[in-house]
Structure formats: C-alpha cells, structure tokens
Chains A and B, each alone.
Chain A
C-alpha cells in the first residue's frame, strides 16, 4: 500500500493510455446518446434547459438499463451552506458499517470492488501513523485492545489538489464545499488520484458491477448515478441526500455515533459546536489541503 511517488506516476502513465483508448471507443459510437454526453459542455457551464435535457436522457437510459424508475437530481447547493464533517476518534470502533452503507447508497462497484471509505486500524501507542496502519484487520470482534480506528474518505478539501491538476476541468468544488466529478467529462487520466494525499479517489478500471436489485435509483448527477468504465469517483458527502437536508448515510448507519455532519455556517449546528469546543485535527495538515473533514476526541 505504500507506493512512492515514482511508482504511482509510472502506474498512472500506464493507465493514461488506457483512458485514451476508452475515449476512442466512445467516439466511435457516434449516434448513441453517449456521443451527446461526450460533446456535452462541462456540467457547471450548461444552461438550465441543457441540464434538464441531459437529466431526462439519463433518467430514461438508467430506468431502461436497470429496470426500475431512476431519478437523477441536479439539485444545486443550498444557499449559505458550507458542509463540514467531524469524526470522533475516541468512539469509532472500526466496525466498517459505514463502508458498506456507503457502497449501497452510492452504487459503488461490487466487482471490481470500490470502497469510498477505508478504515485504518492504528496503534494507540504510535498515534496517527499511516506507515503502521492496517486496513485488512479482521478479528472476531472490534475494537481490539490497544488500537484505534481512523476511517478515511474524501476530505472535501477547501484547497483541493485534485481539482488543480485536472486537465479537463471535470472535477471542481461546489459552493457548499463538496468536491464533485462530472463523469461525462472525466477523461480517466487519474492525475487527480495521484494528487490526492488521502487515497480518496477511485478509478473504474472496468464497467462497474452493481446487481440491478441493489442499485439505488435515487441519484444525483454529480454523485451516485451509475458510472461508466474509465472514470474517477469519490465521496460526495452523499450529495443526493445532503442537498435534500438528510444526513449522509455513513452518519445514519454508525452505531457508535462517531460521525457528525452539518452546516458550518449555522452557529446552532453540532458541527459548529465541535469546531468551537473540541480539539479537532485534520489529516496531513502540513500539506495545506484545508480539509472540511475534521477528526476530534469526544472524551
């Protein structure tokens, strides 16, 4: 799991050629709606009418493909909202309920397996130490003596290195702080994956596989809608849920109540309370990515 910079770059170049291959295939399918997708302007610069039409097309396409009524929302950011997340490291027991709730809600590929959340098991003695963390721990019961757990997903950085390196402007930060990917615009170059210091971006090496009956049909264009092969995906704080006022599904599932979410601009929110009253930290602060995802000790 510890790949040096060089290594990942080489890796990355290898895949770059693959990505281009993928685009060529898309080009050759001239008359399909996918070709329109290909020519589509970047999502955020489209007019309202364009968006409506794209959404309608997608809903039709997905409904046919998965045999159930699909909705694809294009709900914009709610005014005066900046989402923040805080995770209580003194409560998390590493049970991974969040990992799979996220997979189910967000239609991550089951095979090849994609997990937006990775839980790192660490030694209490060593503190936060990525070198000595273990993501494959699998005891009978958690938590294990002497360990603590650090779930990691996209940190929704205010200064996101992934966005800066995207040559296609296929990924950007929304006004509510969520870093999104337009899958129709992503060319699969994986620069963003190399740039992300949290390993939070994931690439669809092949057509993602989600059983039809498990496909969540309530989707957002910039979130959990079905992804094609060859694009990058990541946590969006469950954009399809949070823009409707609901908590992300990892917050809902967590049996320990370690996961806190809300509007940092609302002085009454629990997230604000945490920022003001608890000692919080961010991962890899020295990189100045300025995450909107915090960790704290509730004790």
Chain B
C-alpha cells in the first residue's frame, strides 16, 4: 500500500511490541472471571457461522418513490432480462456505477421475485440480509465486518452491539463511500496545542 513502504520498519517494531503486549494479555487472562463469564453467556453475539446472530439495526428504508413491495408493479410486468436503459428507477439508472460494464440489475435482483435479492447460486435472499450478497464478491470485507473491523458497531463495548449493514454506508448501485462536508477546522490560535 501507498504509505506502507515508509512504515515497514516502524511496523515491524510495533508488531514486535504487540507480540509482547499480547503475550502479557494471555498471562493476564488467567483467572479472568468476568471475561470467562462473558464467554459463557456471550452478550456479543456473532453472525451465523459463530452462533447467536444479532443484528439489531434494521435495514435503511427504501426511498419513498419505490413503494415496497416491488411486486406491486413487477408482479404484473413482463420480465425483460435484456440489459438496457430503463425508463423507471431513474436515480438508480443514472448513478449506477458498480462494475457496471460487467453486471446489470439482475445480477443482484431476482427477475421473477422482485421482492427478494438473488445470490449467484440462484438462491433468493431477503433484503435484510443483503450483506451476504455483497460478501459473494467482497469476501474479505464481509469477514472483517463480521468481526467488527470493517463497518461499525455501536452500543456497549462489553455488551449488546448494533451493526450497520453494508448498504447503510454503501449505496449498492454506486457503492463508493460518499464524500462529506467537513465540520469546521479549529480556530487558528489553537495551533499551540497541535502536535509537533
């Protein structure tokens, strides 16, 4: 990675240092009753492959324009799987920028059951579980997300947590994280306090 080059030596030192800490942690962990309790009654529940799924956050609402269920319109429509410029869903069509040369809508939406997403295997997938769809192509991100490294957990660090879904932060149709207006910079006099 870009800055990694400069970091190599520092990073090595740090990794070494970490090993020391982690070693200490293990030693410190013996007779660690509160943590053992936590492990026996996991309040932090993990996603499916580790037991006890918990995603307390609901999926972001669909925009007002596209009334859910989608089948309200689509049930009566003839299915046309031909990639084309749609006369509907204008905003999505305009912003669509997700490997768009290689993929079209029906890579993710099911042609016949519009109220569901669709995995590559053909299996239907509830919109609530869209992270599994993303994980098909972004397995590394899904893995990091499940352990709380990619994406965001909030709530209690030692208890119940909420997870944001991929689609809270990434519009599936144009997934690049949206730029934000920064909050104001500090006033200039504060320079004396800044890092040397």
Say which one of B68-76, B95-103, B154-162 lies at the interface with A.
Answer: B154-162
Residues 259-288 of chain A, each 1 if its beta carbon lies under 8 Å from chain B, else 0:
011111111111011111111111001000
Contact: A130 with B4, CB < 8 Å? no
Contact: A139 with B196, CB < 8 Å? no
Smallest CB–CB gap between B145 and chain A, Å? Answer: 9
Residues 153-196 of chain B, each 1 if its beta carbon lies under 8 Å from chain A, else 0:
11111110000100001000000010111111111111111111
Contact: B1 with A1, CB < 8 Å? no
Residues of A near B18 (CB, < 8 A) are 275, 280
Contact: A247 with B3, CB < 8 Å? no
* Interface residue SS majority, chain A: loop
Given contacts A138-B185, A141-B179, A281-B14, contact A247 B196 (CB under 8 A): no
Contact: A285 with B17, CB < 8 Å? yes
Determine which of B25, B157, B196 lies in contact with A261 in the assembled complex, contact meaning CB atoms within 8 Å.
B157
A47 an interface residue at 8 Å Cβ cutoff?
Answer: no
Smallest CB–CB gap between A34 and chain B, Å? Answer: 27
Closest to A95 in B: B180
Complex-state Cα separation, A261 to B18, whole angstroms: 16
Complex-state Cα separation, A281 to B179, whole angstroms: 26
Complex-state Cα separation, A279 to B22, whole angstroms: 14
Contact: B38 with A266, CB < 8 Å? yes
Contact: B29 with A124, CB < 8 Å? no
The size bracket of the interface on B is 35 or more
Contact: B193 with A268, CB < 8 Å? no
Contact: A78 with B34, CB < 8 Å? yes
Determine which of B1, B6, B164 lies in contact with A257 in the assembled complex, contact meaning CB atoms within 8 Å.
B164
B81 an interface residue at 8 Å Cβ cutoff?
Answer: no
Smallest CB–CB gap between B159 and chain A, Å? Answer: 5
Smallest CB–CB gap between A237 and chain B, Å? Answer: 10
Contact: B196 with A281, CB < 8 Å? no
Contact: B193 with A96, CB < 8 Å? no
B51 an interface residue at 8 Å Cβ cutoff?
Answer: no
Closest to A142 in B: B182
B80 an interface residue at 8 Å Cβ cutoff?
Answer: no
Determine which of B7, B149, B183, B185 lies in contact with A135 in the assembled complex, contact meaning CB atoms within 8 Å.
B185
Contact: B38 with A139, CB < 8 Å? no
Complex-state Cα separation, A138 to B193, whole angstroms: 19
Complex-state Cα separation, A156 to B136, whole angstroms: 39
Smallest CB–CB gap between B37 and chain A, Å? Answer: 10
Residues 107-149 of chain A, each 1 if its beta carbon lies under 8 Å from chain B, else 0:
0000011110010100011011010010111111111000010
Given contacts A130-B195, A260-B148, contact A148 B3 (CB under 8 A): yes
Complex-state Cα separation, A2 to B194, whole angstroms: 8
Contact: B35 with A246, CB < 8 Å? no
Residues of B near A124 (CB, < 8 A) are 2-3
Complex-state Cα separation, A269 to B179, whole angstroms: 30
Smallest CB–CB gap between B168 and chain A, Å? Answer: 10
A214 an interface residue at 8 Å Cβ cutoff?
Answer: no
B144 an interface residue at 8 Å Cβ cutoff?
Answer: yes
Determine which of A114, A256, A261 lies in contact with B169 in the assembled complex, contact meaning CB atoms within 8 Å.
A256
Complex-state Cα separation, A36 to B14, whole angstroms: 45
Residues of B near A275 (CB, < 8 A) are 18, 21-22
B44 an interface residue at 8 Å Cβ cutoff?
Answer: yes
Q: Which 5 A-B pairs have the closest CB atoms?
A: A257-B152, A270-B148, A127-B6, A96-B183, A141-B179
13 contacts between A and B (CB under 8 A): A80-B33, A96-B185, A120-B194, A127-B7, A128-B6, A148-B3, A247-B157, A257-B169, A263-B158, A266-B35, A272-B25, A279-B7, A279-B11
Query: Contact residues of A with B, CB < 8 Å?
Result: 1-3, 11, 78-80, 82, 88-91, 93-97, 99-100, 112-115, 118, 120, 124-125, 127-128, 130, 133, 135-143, 148, 152, 197-199, 202, 242, 245-247, 251-252, 254-257, 260-270, 272-282, 285, 290, 294, 297-299
Query: Contact residues of B with A, CB < 8 Å?
Result: 1-7, 10-11, 13-15, 17-18, 21-22, 25, 28-29, 32-35, 38-39, 42, 44, 144, 147-159, 164, 169, 177, 179-196
